[in-house]
């Protein structure tokens, strides 16, 4: 059933495949991100209520939704690796975790920076910010567990189980935090609601979003390559590769 | 039909290749002694054979069936004895043996007899924490006398056991092999009372890369 | 002297064992594998060990009491403030006490090798795991529930909330044990797993904390809190069905 996938399940093949993919992805990222960011930060109209501080939205929202998306992707990879014993899925999950954590941190920091002019305080216990904070804890747990094991294969399996437990819990946590927030409302002046965007705000947002998603893909590909090499350091093809590279460099 | 066989095992520990493409078949009546210097992968091999560890590559077959697909049957027919004896300090010798037997689905009516056979008569009621290291291991090894599991995988069974105990165990091994069971063990000492032609040796060696 | 006499006897007995037992007919001589039997076997063993090692029961309980006592000292003795934050304090302290006691769930079994033997037993792992978690709850969760009303008095908890406090603890502490077991199973093979364990487990405890404290708060207002209880019950059944499998998989990784 999975025969068409098999050539890509070979570490060597997928290493070279990512190698070929990377320049294209990088170029696309550069295009989308530069258009998106320049458009969003310089040319898009300012919000009539929030003024220029609204522009942080173009970074905050993509970072926040990507941070959730990466966790789900990680969980899918973990599931594949646990069920079909695919070592490459393990490697890709390991490649994703720190990227996801970084984007969660970006979402939190930009959220706080946005909160300062809006609410006059760096932090409020807004439902979304709170669940983003908990998501960061979940990411850090996965990374810490991964680092605690010396054996990379075991680390991947353990982190995979934790990721799956986490992904089952994320909707529950998110729901409970939202519910908790509505229960204790009073201090919240206005939530980071989805404003109905005009088209000249929507287009730069779409470019920014795709740009950041591509950036995530590029970073994950780079890390994925390294994970493959680290996990196969004993294999002859990796040794040849290292030899070739050292010869080229000298 | 081999009782247990390994197919193309590869084992990597701490970025070191312990063995690669290792295949072996173990038949009823075999006594296999795995030799090799410290750190050569003896314990890793035994743990992989018992299904406790997953090999980097390859798989283990029990009667030509993958052990992952016949877990219950395989475990019923397997007796694994590792570095750690699995004896609880807070329980008496008898309670420990009873639990260990019941855990592996055995009847435990005769546990007192087994304890006597392994020279623990008089210690049945003592808490394991009051016993010596050798006696701890004897409690765990007493399971060997209730021998309905054909596959014995024993990691350093003679550690901390006195001379008489060792020869008693060796006789137990050859009797087990004669009955149609197989014994896979690691030990640094030579087996004395088992004839050399009865023992098959596997030597693991360092492979410097 | 007696030992020597027995060892000669040992060799004699050996021939006897060879004759009367034959290899291969395992089904005949072994007991039938029933779930209930395996569950009771492990439960009885864990309770026996706990009863002979009583400080494992008492220490988390003392911790629970001390942490709760620290809050009035840190915040001030006004009854109004205390009764306002009492549900939160009791529940957070219960989370921490459970966390502290989790270590004993698999650690000693891992260190002395009995965990390996359990994984190699023909019984399904999830039954053994479930028995261990149940034993853990009886040893640590149940005493917390019994002592909680006393602490509620110290914190001037609203009188209408006592039933809610007990019910949430009754439904919630098993969830803590179940989710915690996943964390311990993942970290049991790691040398310094203690701090890591709290990082892994505490975020997963958040929903229980939120709904439990809210139920107690709602009860204080004299309003119905069956909704929150139903959600905690759902969390309990959800973790009861899923956690043992996650624990089993995690233990296999940890003993690898």
* pLDDT score of A99 more than 90: yes
Highest mean pLDDT among A69-78, A221-230, B78-87, C185-194 belongs to: A69-78
**Do B84 and B75 touch, CB atoms closer than 8 A?**
no
pLDDT of residue A185: 56
| Joined tokens for residue B80 | 């694994």
Q: Is residue B93 in a domain?
A: yes
Mean pLDDT of A150-158: 86
Cβ atoms < 10 Å from Cβ of A83: 9
Together in a domain, B4 and B64: yes
Note the pLDDT of residue A224.
92
* pLDDT value at residue A5: 55
What's the rounded Cα separation, in Å, for the pair A8 and B114? 55
pLDDT digits 0-9 by tens, B163-175: 888 888 888 888 8
Task: Verify that B25 and B127 share a domain, yes or no.
Answer: no
Q: Is residue B72 located within the same domain as residue B94?
A: no
Token pair 């302290």 is found at C93
For residue C250, give the nearest of C132, C133, C129, C140 by alpha carbon.
C129
- ipTM score for this prediction: 0.88
Whether B205 is in a domain gets the answer yes
Asked whether the beta carbons of residue C193 and residue A138 sit closer than 8 angstroms, the reply is: no
Question: pLDDT (tens digit, 9 = 90+) per residue, C51-67?
Answer: 988 888 899 999 999 99
The residue length of chain B stands at 209
> Would you place residue C28 in the very low, low, confident or very high pLDDT band (cuts 50, 70, 90)?
very low
Domain assignment of residue B200, yes or no: yes
Same domain, B14 and B71: yes
Residue A7: the pLDDT is 56
Which among B120, B148, B176 is the end of a domain? B148
Residue in A94, A65, A92 with CA at minimum distance from that of residue A212 = A65
Query: Out of A134, A161, A168, whose CB is closest to C186?
Result: A161
Is the pLDDT at C202 greater than 80? The verdict is yes
Q: Does B160 touch chain A (CB under 8 A)?
A: no
pLDDT at C6 over 50: no
Residues of A in contact with B19 (CB under 8 A): none
pLDDT digits (tens, 9 = 90+) for A106-123: 999 998 888 888 778 888
B171 shares a domain with B136: no
CB C208 within 8 A of CB C169: no
User: What torsion, rounded to 10 degrees, do the Cα atoms B57, B63, B67, B72 define?
Assistant: -170
CA C39, CA C49: separation in Å to the nearest integer? 16
Is B122 among the domain residues? yes
Residue C73's pLDDT band (cuts 50, 70, 90): very high
Total domains in chain B come to 2
Q: Whole-model pTM?
A: 0.86
Q: Note whether A42 contacts B: Cβ–Cβ < 8 A.
A: no
Do C112 and B89 lie within an 8 Å CB cutoff? yes
Average model confidence (pLDDT) for chain B? 85
Of B32, B28, B23, nearest to B5 (Cα)?
A: B23
Domain check: are B115 and B131 in the same one? yes
Residues B125-152, mean pLDDT to the nearest whole number: 85
How far CA B22 is from CA of B5, B26, C173, C203, in Å, comes to 10, 13, 48, 44
DSSP track, chain B: --SEEEEEEEEEETTEEEEEEEEEEE-TT-EEEEE--TTSSHHHHHHHHTTSS--SEEEEEETTEEGGGSHHHHHHTEEEE-SS----TTSBHHHHHHHHHHHTTB--TTHHHHHHHTT-TT-TTSBGGGS-HHHHHHHHHGGGGS---SEEEEESTTTT--HHHHHHHHHHHHHHHHTT-EEEEE-SSPPSSS-GGGEEEEE------
The predicted-structure confidence for A205-217, as pLDDT tens digits, reads as follows 888 999 999 999 9
- Closest Cα in chain B, distance from residue A235 (Å): 10
Q: Return d(Cα B202, Cα C40) in angstroms, integer.
A: 42
Edge-to-edge strands of the sheet including B199-203? B78-81, B151-155, B182-186, B31-35, B199-203
Query: Across the interface, do B15 and A233 touch by the CB < 8 Å criterion?
Result: yes
What subunits make at least 3 CB pairs under 8 angstroms with A? Answer: B, C
Per-residue confidence (pLDDT) for residue C65, from 0 to 100: 94
B1 and B61 in a common domain: yes
Question: Residue B59 pLDDT > 60, yes or no?
Answer: yes
Give the C-alpha distances (Å, rounded to integers) separating B92 from B117, B133, B139, B172.
Answer: 17, 14, 10, 25
Q: Are the C-beta atoms of B42 and B204 separated by less than 8 Å?
A: yes
Same domain for B70 and B93? no
In a domain, B82, yes or no: no
Out of A138-142, B92-96, B111-115, C194-198, the most confident range is: A138-142
What pLDDT is stored for residue A8 in this prediction? 60
Q: Are residues B186 and B144 in the same domain?
A: no
Alpha-carbon distance B141 to B101, whole Å?
Answer: 11
CA atoms of C217 and C223, how far apart (whole Å): 9
Largest Cα separation within chain A, whole Å, is 67
Q: Does B145 touch chain A (CB under 8 A)?
A: no
Looking at the fold, whether B27 and B61 belong to one and the same domain comes out as yes
Query: In this predicted structure, what is the pLDDT of residue A107?
Result: 93
The answer to whether residue B174 sits within a structural domain is: yes
The stretch A1-15 carries a mean pLDDT of 67
Which residues constitute the domain of residue B117?
Answer: 87-148
**What would you measure as the largest C-alpha separation in chain B, in angstroms?**
53
Average pLDDT estimate for A34-57 = 80
Interface with C, mutate which of A125, A146, A172 (most C CBs under 10 A): A172
Whole-angstrom Cα distance, residue C1 to residue B123? 15
Interval C133-141 mean pLDDT: 94
Write down how long chain A is: 250
Q: What is the pLDDT of residue A6?
A: 58
State whether B12 and A234 contact (CB < 8 Å): yes
From B34's Cα to the closest Cα of chain A, the distance in A is: 24
Is residue B202 in some structural domain? yes
The last residue of one of the domains, among B132, B148, B164, is: B148
Question: Residue C11: is its pLDDT beyond 50?
Answer: no
| Partner chains of B (3+ C-beta pairs under 8 Å) | A, C
Query: Which chain A residues contact residue C249 at CB under 8 A?
Result: 82, 161
Among B130, B148, B166, the domain-final residue is B148
Contact status of B208 with chain A (Cβ, < 8 Å): no
Indicate whether B8 and B73 sit together in one domain: yes
Whether pLDDT at B63 is above 50: yes
pLDDT (0 to 100) of residue A3: 52
CA dihedral sign of residues A139, A141, A144, A150: negative
Interface of B with C in 34-73 (CB under 8 A): 47, 50-54, 71-73
Give yes or no for residue A129 having a pLDDT over 60: yes
Distance from CA of B114 to the nearest CA of A (A): 38
Domain containing residue B180: CATH number: 3.40.50.300
Q: C190 — contact with chain A (CB < 8 Å)?
A: yes
Question: pLDDT at residue B87 above 80?
Answer: yes
Give yes or no for residue A39 having a pLDDT over 60: yes
Q: Do B14 and A234 touch (CB under 8 A)?
A: no
Q: Is residue B136 part of a domain?
A: yes
Q: In whole angstroms, what is the distance from residue C207 CA to residue A172 CA?
A: 7
Nearest residue in A to B13, CA atom: A151
Q: Which residue has the higher pLDDT, B189 or C225?
A: C225
Q: What is the DSSP letter of C188?
A: T
Highest mean predicted confidence (pLDDT) among A197-211, B145-159, C113-127: C113-127
Q: Are residues B7 and B73 in the same domain?
A: yes
């Amino acid at each position: 059933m999975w025969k068409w996938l098999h050539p890509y399940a070979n570490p060597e093949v997928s290493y070279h495949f990512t190698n070929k993919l990377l320049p294209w992805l990088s170029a696309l990222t550069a295009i989308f991100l530069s258009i998106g960011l320049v458009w969003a930060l310089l040319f898009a109209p300012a919000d009539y209520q929030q003024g220029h501080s609204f522009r942080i939205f173009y970074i905050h929202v993509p970072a926040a939704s990507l941070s959730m998306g990466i966790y789900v992707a990680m969980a899918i990879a973990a599931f594949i690796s646990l069920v079909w014993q695919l070592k490459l899925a393990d490697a890709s999950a390991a490649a994703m975790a720190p990227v996801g954590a970084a984007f969660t941190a970006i979402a939190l920091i930009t959220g706080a920076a946005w909160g300062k002019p809006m609410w006059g305080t760096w932090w409020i216990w807004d439902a979304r910010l709170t669940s983003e904070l908990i998501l960061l804890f979940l990411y850090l747990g996965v990374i810490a567990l991964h680092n605690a094991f010396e054996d990379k294969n075991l680390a991947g399996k353990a982190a995979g189980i934790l990721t799956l437990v986490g992904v089952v819990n994320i909707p529950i946590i998110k729901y409970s935090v939202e519910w908790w927030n509505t229960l204790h409302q009073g201090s919240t002046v206005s939530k980071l609601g989805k404003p109905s965007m005009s088209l000249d705000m929507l287009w730069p947002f779409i470019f920014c979003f795709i740009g950041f998603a591509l950036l995530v893909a590029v970073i994950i590909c780079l890390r994925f390559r390294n994970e493959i090499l680290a996990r196969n350091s004993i294999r002859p093809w990796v040794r040849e590769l290292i030899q070739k590279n050292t010869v080229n460099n000298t | 039909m081999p009782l247990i066989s390994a197919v193309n095992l590869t084992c990597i520990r701490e970025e070191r290749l312990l063995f690669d493409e290792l295949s072996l078949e173990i038949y009823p009546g075999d006594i296999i002694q795995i030799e090799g210097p410290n750190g050569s992968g003896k314990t890793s091999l035994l743990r992989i054979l018992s299904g406790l560890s997953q090999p980097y590559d390859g798989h283990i077959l029990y009667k030509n069936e993958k052990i992952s697909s016949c877990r219950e049957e395989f475990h019923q027919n397997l007796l694994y004895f590792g570095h750690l004896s699995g004896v609880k300090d807070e329980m008496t010798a008898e309670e420990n043996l009873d639990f260990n037997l019941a855990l592996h689905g055995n009847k435990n009516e005769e546990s007192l007899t087994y304890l006597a056979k392994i020279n623990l008569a008089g210690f049945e009621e003592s808490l394991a924490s009051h016993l010596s290291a050798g006696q701890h291991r004897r409690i765990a090894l007493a399971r060997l006398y209730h021998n309905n599991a054909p596959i014995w995988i024993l990691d350093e069974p003679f550690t901390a056991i006195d001379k008489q105990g060792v020869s008693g165990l060796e006789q137990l091994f050859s009797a087990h092999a004669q009955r149609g069971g197989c014994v896979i063990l690691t030990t640094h000492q030579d087996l004395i009372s088992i004839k050399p032609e009865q023992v098959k040796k596997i030597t693991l060696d360092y492979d410097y890369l | 002297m007696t030992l020597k006499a027995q060892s000669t006897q040992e060799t004699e007995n050996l021939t006897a064992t060879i004759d009367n037992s034959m290899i291969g007919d395992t089904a005949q001589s072994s007991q039938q594998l029933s779930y209930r039997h395996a569950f009771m076997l492990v439960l009885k063993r864990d309770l026996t060990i706990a009863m002979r090692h009583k400080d494992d029961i008492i220490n988390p309980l003392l911790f629970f009491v001390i942490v709760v006592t620290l809050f009035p000292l840190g915040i001030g003795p006004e009854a109004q403030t205390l009764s306002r934050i009492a549900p939160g304090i009791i529940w957070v302290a219960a989370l921490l006490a459970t966390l502290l006691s989790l270590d004993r769930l698999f650690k000693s079994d891992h260190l002395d090798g009995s965990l390996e033997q359990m994984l190699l037993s023909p019984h399904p792992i999830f039954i053994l795991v479930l028995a261990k978690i149940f034993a853990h709850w009886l040893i640590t969760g149940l005493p917390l529930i019994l002592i909680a009303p006393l602490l509620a008095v110290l914190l001037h908890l609203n009188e209408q909330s006592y039933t809610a406090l007990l019910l949430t603890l009754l439904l919630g502490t098993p969830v803590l044990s179940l989710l915690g077991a996943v964390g311990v199973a993942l970290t049991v093979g790691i040398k310094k797993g203690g701090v890591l364990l709290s990082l892994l487990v505490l975020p997963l405890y958040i929903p229980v904390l939120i709904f439990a404290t809210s139920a107690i708060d709602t009860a204080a207002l004299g309003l119905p809190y069956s909704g929150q209880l139903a959600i905690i019950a759902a969390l309990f059944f959800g973790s009861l069905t899923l956690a043992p499998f996650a624990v089993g998989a995690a233990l296999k990784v940890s003993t690898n």
